[in-house]
Amino acid sequence: MTTEHFDDGKKGYYRAMENETEAGRMTYTWAGETKLIIDHTEVNPAFKGKNISKQLLMEVVNLARTKNLKILPLCPFAKAMFDKMEDIRDVLF
């Protein structure tokens, strides 16, 4: 499984790939220069139960930590994970 990152300066996403198949995607929108809004998470049904969503969330959290950003999780999955995992709240807006 590999993870790819795309960002055009306004919106971006991380996607998990298994060979040529997209296993999942987490999208975000920039809100200013220091904040990201996670707005959607989607997992290919063939990859359900393999923690793809959590892997993608951790990629966004690592991006935020590296670039000193804050995250506003509007996506229900991301919001639930921030509520559940104290160790990632350092990047919560």
- The string of DSSP letters for 26-56 reads EEEEE-SSSEEEEEEEEE-GGGTTS-HHHHH
Q: Which domains does the chain have, with CATH numbers?
A: 2-91 (3.40.630.30)
Condensed to tens digits (0 to 9), the pLDDT of residues 51-66 reads 999 999 999 999 999 9
pTM beyond 0.85, yes or no: yes
Per-residue confidence (pLDDT) for residue 2, from 0 to 100: 97
Condensed to tens digits (0 to 9), the pLDDT of residues 26-56 reads 999 999 999 999 999 999 999 999 999 999 9
Cα-only R_g, the chain = 12
